[in-house]
Amino acid sequence: MILLDGHGLTIEGLWRIARGDERGALAMPAREAMARSRALVEELAAQPRAIYGISTGFGPLSHERVSPDEQADLQLNLLYHLAVGQGEPLSDTETRAVMAARANALARGFSGIRPEVVEMLLDALGAGVLPEIPSELSLIHI
């Protein structure tokens, strides 16, 4: 078991997860940091002030306010907007490496994402449930 905390994942550890030799798991300090970050996001989202990407649109729409009732739709629409790409899909090993690296980056606790989301990502990875990631024009290449 390789514990992910956003700081200590080595290339060797990433490779072991990517090959399926070991599973990744969220370290308790990372889970706690993520929970604190998420609590802050929820506290800020409850305030009437503009919070970029939470109570406002993105990019050129950042001056547009989003009502509390529409905030969940805003986040879902962002995912739809970013679901781009073409080309042959990455191999299973490459996909597993991307998933593990993303889980590790989110484990730092700076994104405001709930720890349960990262745990679900790691559970899917451990169970071999892999998304199809296009090899070209995908956000993983940015």
CB 39 within 8 A of CB 113: no
Residue in 52, 92, 139, 141 annotated catalytic: 52
Query: Does 52 participate in catalysis according to the annotation?
Result: yes
Side-chain half-sphere CA neighbours of 38 within 13 A: 14
Q: Measured between alpha carbons, how far is residue 134 from residues 7, 41, 73, 116, 138 in Å? A: 27, 31, 25, 26, 6
Q: How many CA atoms lie within 13 Å of 99's alpha carbon, on the beta-carbon side?
A: 32
**Annotated active-site positions, please?**
52
